[in-house]
Amino acid sequence: MSQTQHPMQPPRVTSGAWAGWVAFASIMLMLTGAINGVQGFVALFQDDYFLVRTGDELLITDFTGWGIIMLVWATLLLIAGWSLFAGRSWARWFAVFAACLSILVQIAFLNSFPIWSAMIIALDVLVIFALSAHWDEAIRT
């Protein structure tokens, strides 16, 4: 069954490989959301777990405030990942924005938990790559 296209539009091609990258990005967003949720719960209930602690303050707030921020942020990342996986049209840009903002959030937390934060930053970079490289080839028809 062929699909009629306007002659001025470029052809829409699907690629299993790049569509796989989009699925990878959605799974990684949900994974980083879950990890951020764990970070949030630990910051709320066991703030002495973190490596560097100068008083009760992080870069911008105390651990309780940071835990709440991380739980809200985890929820947004989970929504972004699930929406991207479900093929929502708005989800790609929301997911790229969420991954970029997640990098900034982790930079703010880097001093307290460097390995964990570096791992999340690396996953976010992979998500941004997966969602920006060859997006036209990953479009589902």
Residue count (the chain): 141
69 — pLDDT class (breaks 50, 70, 90): confident
Q: Domain for residue 103, yes or no?
A: yes
Top-confidence residue, 59 or 72: 72
34 — pLDDT class (breaks 50, 70, 90): very high
Q: Which of 34, 35, 32 is nearest to 130 (CA)?
A: 32
- Report the domain count for the chain: 1
Q: Domain for residue 72, yes or no?
A: yes
Arithmetic mean of pLDDT over the chain? 76
Indicate if the pLDDT at residue 71 is higher than 70: yes
**Structural domain of 124:** 33-136
Top-confidence residue, 86 or 113: 86
1-18 average pLDDT score: 54
Q: Domain for residue 39, yes or no?
A: yes
Give the model's pLDDT for residue 115.
85
Give the model's pLDDT for residue 113.
74
Predicted TM-score (pTM) of the model is 0.69
Question: CB–CB of 29/95 below 8 Å?
Answer: yes
Give the model's pLDDT for residue 13.
47
Indicate if the pLDDT at residue 75 is higher than 90: yes
Q: Domain for residue 26, yes or no?
A: no
Q: Domain for residue 58, yes or no?
A: yes
83-92 average pLDDT score: 83
Instruction: Provide, rounded to the nearest whole percent, the portion of the chain with pLDDT above 70.
Output: 70
Q: Domain for residue 111, yes or no?
A: yes
